[in-house]
Amino acid sequence: MNTTYDNPAVDGSDEKSDLFSLTRMIYAVSGGTLLYLLLEYSGWFFFQRKQVWFFDFSRADLWFHVANLFFVTAMLCVGIGYGFSKELFRWEPRSEASGWVRSISFGLLGGAIALVLASPIFWFGLGRTRLESIQMLIGSALSPLAVFDLLFFIFALAVSSEIVFRGIVLRTIARYAGVPAAALASCLPFAYIFPVLGFAPAIILGVTSSILYDKTRTLLAPILANALFTVGGSGIALYHNLMYSG
């Protein structure tokens, strides 16, 4: 991982420095995290009541949709605070961002490598509680609508989380402390609140996504790695459960 960081005095990007202000990042990401946790715990309260008006919260598939919509909504609120600036998606000016083909190739390769590294964790069931919902969707994806449903949530989670934790958190902290420290700082909150993966797999994914963003200078690669890793990890855990249940 390249340790060069975007110092405004060095890279000539003073006009962009306000976008990646440390204070702005702390307020925006902290606010988004608190919003998500508030929505999640409020939703869990209703889930415990089983039935609220015409919503049957005892259905696991409904809770999956609600919980992940909370996460995506909170992350998009953070992105709205930044106006979804193109600077979040293309990390310049150190070098020209990678092209589409290279970014896609790096993203798929990086996601596959991270999946191999985390496969023992998925296989032995660590973090299983968070994976159960997507395991359920994978197992029931027998119709075009179910497949679309699965893909929508996988990519919505990947896009929203990578915008915040790589496009905002990593970019901002890298300006002050370098990429390695920024990668660690972006991985920890991501691993804590990401609603699908357990903590250990999310750390592996977070490190991989940080490396990909630093190398390709575009969010396309980490988004693809995130989606591949989530689907692959869920598939491994689902296969293990089917093979050894009972």
Q: Find, among 210, 160, 216, 213, the residue nearest to 183 by Cα.
A: 210
Rounded distance between C-alpha atoms, residue 170 and residue 173, angstroms: 5
Distances (CA, A) of 188 to 171, 182, 204: 15, 10, 11
Structure confidence at residue 141 as a pLDDT band (50, 70, 90): low
Predicted local distance difference test score (pLDDT) of residue 138: 63
**What value does the mean pLDDT of the chain take?**
79
Most confident of 57-71, 158-172, 228-242: 158-172
Q: What is the dihedral of CA 231, 237, 240, 245, to 10 degrees?
A: -120
Tokens of 37: 């946790």
Residues 174-201, mean pLDDT to the nearest whole number: 88
Kindly indicate the confidence band of residue 55, based on its pLDDT and cuts at 50, 70 and 90. Answer: low
- Nearest to 86, CA basis, from 95, 97, 75: 97
* SS3 assignment for the chain: CCCCCCCHHHHCCHHHCCCCCHHHHHHHHHHHHHHHHHHHHHHHHHHHCCEECCEECCCHHHHHHHHHHHHHHHHHHHHHHCCCCHHHCECCCCCCCCCHHHHHHHHHHHHHHHHHHHHHHHHCCCCHHHHHHHHHHHHCCCCHHHHHHHHHHHHHHHHHHHHHHHHHHHHHHHHHHCHHHHHHHHHHHHHHHCCCCCHHHHHHHHHHHHHHHHHHCECHHHHHHHHHHHHHHHHHHHHHHHHHCC
The amino acid that residue 149 corresponds to is: D
pLDDT digits 0-9 by tens, 84-126? 888 888 887 655 667 888 899 999 999 999 999 998 888 776 5
Cis peptide before 93 (omega within 30 of 0): yes
pLDDT reported for residue 15: 41
Q: Is the pLDDT assigned to residue 140 strictly greater than 70?
A: no
pLDDT tens for 1-25 read: 544 444 443 343 434 458 888 999 9
Give 185 or 65, the one with higher predicted confidence: 185
Lowest-confidence pick of 129-133, 134-138, 179-183:
129-133
pLDDT in tens, 168-186: 999 999 988 888 999 999 9
Residue type, 57: F
pLDDT for residue 238 = 72
